Structure 1
Amino acid sequence: MRAAPPRSVLLAALMALMLAAAIASLRLGPVELSAGRLLAATLGNGDRVAHIILFELRLPRTLLALGVGAMLGLSGAALQGYLRNPLAEPSVLGASNAAALGAVAALYFGLAALHPLMLPLLSIGSTIIALTLLFLLAGRSESPLTLILAGIAIATLAGAGISLALNLAPNPFAAMEIMTWLLGSLENRSFAHLWIALPCIAVGGGLLLWGGRDLDALTLGEDGAQALGVDLRRTRLRLLLGTAIGVGGAVAVSGAIGFVGLIVPHLVRPFTDRSPSAILLPSALGGAALLTFADIGVRTIASTNELKLGVVTAFLGVPVFLIHLMRERRLW
């Protein structure tokens, strides 16, 4: 096994990659902005077209890609560490499906048109309800297996609700709006969407990063962690609330985007000491860079309609995950 680089080097490299992705996202698109034109628009000296493209179209979209990607990568790493399962991600506990169901309900009943906050509120609310149901199904058990099985049941129930909404859509346009949202996209997002998602991502991310040392203790098993003074109930509550708030807010704005939380921890793990706490922050930075680069791809690939971000991440995620899993399977 090769020696992992110093943590500071890894974080610096990921931050540089994230910065490069952000700059590329601001420059590239249907209309390419040169570095000089981009700088002039930033300083307020550029032409009006460049100013509109930068501040009304690309800047909020770039910041959302960074935030949503960071949240998905971080939540995937936290869940993999807690469940000691390399296949874990937010959908394992039903969080992503529940958030999607809440957003679909807002679209189906027309609540999203009443006020912009209705979509994220229903998304987060449905996620919290799902997690409450998860606690009831899991009972007093602290076993990760019990949580996984309960999460699968909740995810299946939420998926059935989404299918029912599509089946009973009053007209093809309503069904198309729901399907478009389920494919995931950051197209036509504004600063209003950013102010909705950012507080949720900040609170959820803070809760997940706070419990890193508890995740390290859990590598010894529940009994070993309790012997070291870890409160398993509090750790689980913090993890589930962080996932619910962060992923719920992110999914409400971006739509359903998969595989980021699944593959990013696997990509950064070989460059760390493999402890769960060491993977959290690198996964957040890596997730931000990955989703931003994917969003650049959907804007620059020539097509009649812009590709959906969730589709691109699926095509990227499956082969990368399988290849990396084949290489690293002996290390788990």
Structure 2
Amino acid sequence: MTFAIPRPVLIAALAGLAAVAAMTSLLFGAVDLSLARLIAAATGDGDRVASIILFDLRLPRALLALAVGAMLGLAGAALQGYLRNPLAEPSVLGTSNAAALGAVAALYFGLAQIHPAVLPLLAIGCALVSLGILFLLAGNAESPLTLILAGLALATLAGAGISLALNLSPNPFAAMEIMTWLLGSLENRSFAHLWIALPCIAVGMAMLLWNSRALDALTLGEDAAQALGTDLRRTRFRLLIGTAIGVGGAVAVSGAIGFVGLIVPHLIRPLTDRSPSAILLPSALGGAALLTFADLGVRLIPTTSELNLGVVTAFLGVPVFLLYLMRERRLW
């Protein structure tokens, strides 16, 4: 059932939810900070412990959660609109797996020890290389099915490379480091990671939002979209470039975090008129709020060691799959 909410109201509500998530993330953790203590630390009048907690630990982590969540949510909505596939997400094009392979290579060969920027840069580079291969495999075909098949081939190849790195890992500690990164986490992230990811995410989001009208036209089919003046090749190029750069930059600093791009558009769609353009920006805001709350959860859930963020988002994705399956069965 659809409960369409006016677009300005929906965007304002989701932006407010993301802001609440960010503020909550700053206040709570292993050491809770009162609002007064947080404000004092932010203005430079607080105690040293609160300042360290705020600026060295929580603020960069909260900002990264917002940025990465927004990118993943937007990419999922854009790909679902373009491919007309409700189960599409960034991994469909192989981008996430390729970026993960680049990061795993940096860990496996010890390149990450050279400089902190090597791992994210190699992840982004592999995402862009996968994009070039995707163009070669897809050729001039304009059918979304061709992109899906080529993307699945790339994702499988990258996954095999990751498995090979784990299988040939020189020692258990290297394998553990790779596995920890593959499960996704924002733990111990700093402003240096934010400055690496943010430009990529900004460029990727801008290119995906640029496609909003073209995605609406594609709901009528490729022929109708072309008749309405949509350049399918340029639309595909912007979509792929935006996804590769944005998701590559996000995965480079957060590790592999799945399901956000899948579940957020499904949660947002019933609140809109279901047109692709109406889902894009709300999905970005919803993704930012969801990932920030999920990151707060991994810090607050009492465990002997902090849960990985990718594990939490995977558990969140299962109910959405089940709800979608039940709805499809009712339609049958």
| TM-score in same-fold range (> 0.5) | yes
1:178 aligned partner, one-letter code? I
**Structure 1 stretch 131-140 or stretch 96-105: which is displaced more?**
131-140
User: What letter corresponds to residue 265 of structure 1 in structure 2?
Assistant: P
| Separation in structure 1 between the aligned mates of residue 276 and residue 173 of structure 2, nearest angstrom | 45
Give the ranges of 4+ consecutive aligned residues of structure 1 lying more than 6 Å apart after TM superposition: 328-331
Deviation at 1:31, TM superposition (A): 0.2
Task: Figure out how many residues of one structure are paired with residues of the other and give that number.
Answer: 332
Counterpart for residue 209 of structure 2 = 209
Matches within 5 A, 1:90-239: 90-239=90-239
Query: Which one-letter code corresponds to 2:205 in the other structure?
Result: G
Instruction: State the alpha-carbon separation in 1 of the partners of residues 3 and 74 from structure 2.
Output: 23
CA–CA distance in structure 1, aligned partners of residues 304 and 81 of structure 2: 42
Deviations 1:222-271, CA, capped at 9 Å, x for gaps: 11111111111111010000000000000010000000000000000011
Alpha-carbon distance in structure 1 between the residues aligned to 2:67 and 2:46: 27
Report the residue type matching 1:58 in the other structure: R
Q: Report the equivalent of 1:295.
A: 295
- How many angstroms apart in 2 are the aligned matches of 1:329 and 1:253? 39
Contact 2:42 2:51 in 1 (8 A): yes
**Counterpart-to-counterpart distance in 2, 1:145 and 1:64:** 33
Aligned pair in 2 of structure 1 residues 328, 279: CA closer, same or farther (>3 Å)? farther
Conserved in 2, the CA contact under 8 Å of 1:200 and 1:245? yes
Q: How does 1:248-263 map to 2 (within 5 A)?
A: 248-263=248-263
| 1:279 alignment partner in structure 2 | 279
1:322 offset after TM fit, Å?
2.1
The letter of the residue matching 1:259 is F
User: Aligned partners of 1:98 and 1:2: how far apart in 2?
Assistant: 36
Q: Is the 8 A contact 1:69 1:288 kept in 2?
A: yes
Report which stretch shifted further, 76-85 or 116-125: 116-125
How far did residue 139 of structure 1 move? 1.8
Matched residue, 1:8: 8
Structure 1 gap segments, 5+ residues each: none
What's the offset of the Cα at 1:137?
Answer: 1.4
Do the aligned partners of residues 324 and 36 (structure 1) sit closer, same or farther apart at CA in structure 2, a change above 3 Å counting? Answer: farther
Shift, 1:285, TM fit: 0.1
Note the C-alpha offset of 1:324. Answer: 4.5
Q: Displacement of 1:328 after TM fit? A: 7.0
* Equivalence for 2:40: 40
Do the aligned residues in 1 keep the contact of 2:264 with 2:286 (CA within 8 Å)?
yes
How far the C-alpha of 1:39 sits from its partner, in A, is 1.2
What residue is the counterpart of 2:84 in the other structure? Answer: 84
Do 1:103 and 1:123's aligned partners in 2 also have CA atoms closer than 8 Å? yes
Q: Is the contact made by 1:266 and 1:321 (CA closer than 8 Å) also made in structure 2?
A: no
Q: Distance in 2 between matches of 1:123 and 1:219?
A: 33
1:55 — aligned with what?
55
Change beyond 3 A, Cα 1:306–1:3: closer
* 1:16 counterpart SS class: helix
Separation in structure 2 between the aligned mates of residue 42 and residue 125 of structure 1, nearest angstrom:
36
1:62 and 1:75 map into 2 onto residues whose CA distance is 20
For 1:45 and 1:116, the matched residues in 2 are separated by 31
Distance 2:178 2:11 in 1: 38
Which whole-Å CA distance do the structure 2 matches of 1:304 and 1:143 have between them?
49
Equivalent residues in 2 for 1:65-84, closer than 5 Å = 65-84=65-84
Deviation at 1:330, TM superposition (A): 7.2
Contact 1:267 1:324 in 2 (8 A): no
Structure 2 counterpart of 1:304? 304
Cα distance, 1:177 vs structure 2: 0.7
Identity of aligned residues (%): 80
Instruction: Give the 3-state SS of the residue equivalent to 1:37 in structure 2.
Output: helix
Q: State how far apart, in whole Å, the 1-side matches of 2:320 and 2:34 are.
A: 32
Q: By how many angstroms is 1:327 displaced? A: 3.7
Secondary structure of 2:187's counterpart equals coil
Q: TM-score, normalised on structure 1?
A: 0.97
The one-letter code of the counterpart of 1:36 is A
Distance in structure 1 (CA, Å) of the matches to 2:82 and 2:224: 14
Are the equivalent residues in 1 in contact too, given 2:2–2:272 (CA < 8 A)?
A: no
Displacement of 1:325 = 4.9
Is the CA contact 1:108–1:169 (under 8 Å) kept in the aligned structure 2? yes
SS in 2 for 1:273: coil
**For residue 169 of structure 2, what is the amino acid of its counterpart?**
A
Residue 236 of structure 1 aligns to a residue whose secondary structure is helix
Equivalent-residue separation in structure 2 for 1:131 and 1:257 (angstroms): 20
> How much does 1:317 deviate?
1.3
Amino acid in structure 2 at the alignment position of 1:179? M
Q: CA deviation at 1:115?
A: 1.6
Deviation, structure 1 residue 321? 3.4
SS of residue in 1 equivalent to 2:319: helix
Report the Cα distance in structure 2 between the residues aligned to 1:114 and 1:329, rounded to whole angstroms. 53
SS in 1 for 2:128: helix
Q: Quick one: structure 1 residues 3 and 172, their matched pair in 2 at CA, closer, same or farther if it must change by over 3 Å?
A: closer
